[in-house]
């Protein structure tokens, strides 16, 4: 497998392209919007610089990684005509993805694998191709050139060979993968995050705690422990007898979900969308969005490098 095509150059697409190019793959990025392609190129310049500053990549590789290996085009047929693996990262809409997969089926070599980066859609129910054995979900996390995990989801007709091939390619570029043998809404990560978010909204909406306190609690307790023990092994350390007693403890009842969050609705109504608009639960207006993201990325890379070292000593 040599040539990768990424469809959609937005939040996810440009970073997925970089994740492949830094590991030696030729990547073509396609978007219907020439402005998005230009923006993706600029963002990857910044992303590369962040990787250099974090010591992850040699600055001398810039020309090769950013200009020789990645090509940006708004011509879909040109982007995918010699692709071995296509990753679709366009809008999260069934009709749009269905149309895209029909085009990809016509425009790609018959042996190419067609993957979707969908977060919640059961694409296996609606995409129609002549190669259902080669259709798969690869669910990446932002920023994809840094975050190690990719969730792989098998459809009812996806072949074991396709799963093995995709898993191998992703492992080869340094990703950690898990395979879900059948579609489950939210896969694993978004299910866990959604369960926690329900409690976050409950605490905020009912005035139990401020956003800063909830974040401090997460960072200073289970957030610190989770990279070492995960969520399941943590129970072995607590003692399973204690865990069992806590599970039966009637003082905790999962709040019923009202269908929306008052705190979130109030911010969105004021145009406070988070980092991208300068304000959300927090205020980011003292620096540009690029600087805010770079600051996060440098910290993530340092933490990841420490955790990678720790994994090596565990082996």
Site of interaction with ligand NAD (CB under 6 A) = 7-13, 30-33, 36, 89-92, 96, 100, 117-119, 139-140, 142
Residue 14 known to be catalytic:
no
Residue 145 known to be catalytic:
no
Please identify, using beta-carbon distances, which residue of 25 and 101 lies nearer to ligand NAD: 101
C-beta of residue 113 within 8 angstroms of C-beta of residue 92: no
Please identify, using beta-carbon distances, which residue of 11 and 263 lies nearer to ligand NAD: 11
Please identify, using beta-carbon distances, which residue of 170 and 203 lies nearer to ligand NAD: 170
Angle between helices 211-220 and 222-229 (to 10 degrees): 40
* Residue among 44, 47, 117, 151 flagged as catalytic: 151
Closest-CA residue to 162 (of 186, 133, 141):
133
Q: Helix or strand or coil: residue 44?
A: helix
**Least distance from ligand NAD to the Cβ atom of residue 262, Å:** 24
**Least distance from ligand NAD to the Cβ atom of residue 251, Å:** 35
Instruction: Locate 147 and state its tokens.
Output: 């975050």
Separation between Cα atoms, residue 213 and residue 258, nearest integer Å: 23
**How many alpha carbons lie under 13 Å from residue 309 in its C-beta half-sphere?**
6
Residue 151 known to be catalytic:
yes
Residue 42 known to be catalytic:
no
**Least distance from ligand NAD to the Cβ atom of residue 250, Å:** 37
**Least distance from ligand NAD to the Cβ atom of residue 22, Å:** 19
Please identify, using beta-carbon distances, which residue of 147 and 267 lies nearer to ligand NAD: 147
Q: Helix or strand or coil: residue 57?
A: coil
- Parallel, antiparallel, or unpaired: how do β-strands 3-7 and 85-88 relate? parallel
* Residue among 119, 159, 263, 277 flagged as catalytic: 119
Q: Helix or strand or coil: residue 298?
A: helix
Instruction: Give the catalytic positions in this structure.
Output: 119, 139, 151, 190
């Amino acid at each position: 497998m040599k040539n990768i095509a990424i469809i959609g150059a937005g939040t996810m697409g440009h970073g997925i392209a970089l994740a492949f190019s830094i590991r030696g793959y030729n990547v073509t990025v396609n978007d219907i919007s020439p402005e998005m392609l230009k923006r993706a190129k600029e963002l990857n310049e910044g992303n590369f610089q962040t990787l250099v500053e974090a010591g992850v990549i040699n600055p001398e590789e810039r020309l090769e990684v950013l200009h020789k290996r990645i090509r940006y085009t708004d011509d879909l047929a040109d982007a995918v005509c010699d692709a071995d693996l296509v990753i679709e990262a366009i809008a999260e809409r069934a009709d749009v993805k269905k149309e895209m997969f029909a085009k990809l089926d016509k425009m790609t070599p018959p042996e190419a694998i067609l993957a979707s980066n969908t977060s919640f859609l059961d694409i296996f129910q609606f995409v129609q191709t002549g190669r259902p054995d080669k259709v798969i979900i690869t669910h990446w996390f932002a920023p994809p050139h840094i975050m190690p995990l990719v969730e792989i989801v098998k459809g009812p007709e996806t072949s074991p060979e396709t799963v093995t091939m995709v898993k191998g390619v992703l492992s080869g570029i340094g990703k950690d993968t898990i395979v879900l043998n059948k579609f489950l809404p939210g896969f694993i990560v978004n299910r866990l995050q959604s369960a926690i978010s329900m409690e976050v909204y409950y605490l905020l909406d009912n005035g139990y705690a401020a956003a800063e306190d909830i974040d401090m609690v997460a960072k200073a307790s289970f957030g610190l422990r989770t990279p070492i023990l995960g969520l399941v092994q943590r129970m072995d350390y607590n003692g399973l007898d204690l865990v069992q007693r806590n599970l039966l403890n009637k003082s905790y009842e999962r709040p019923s979900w009202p269908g929306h969050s008052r705190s979130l609705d109030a911010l969105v109504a004021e145009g406070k969308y988070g980092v991208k608009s300068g304000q959300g639960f927090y205020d980011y207006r003292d620096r540009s969005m690029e600087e805010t993201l770079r600051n996060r990325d440098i910290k993530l890379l340092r933490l990841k490098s420490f955790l990678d070292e720790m994994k090596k000593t565990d082996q």
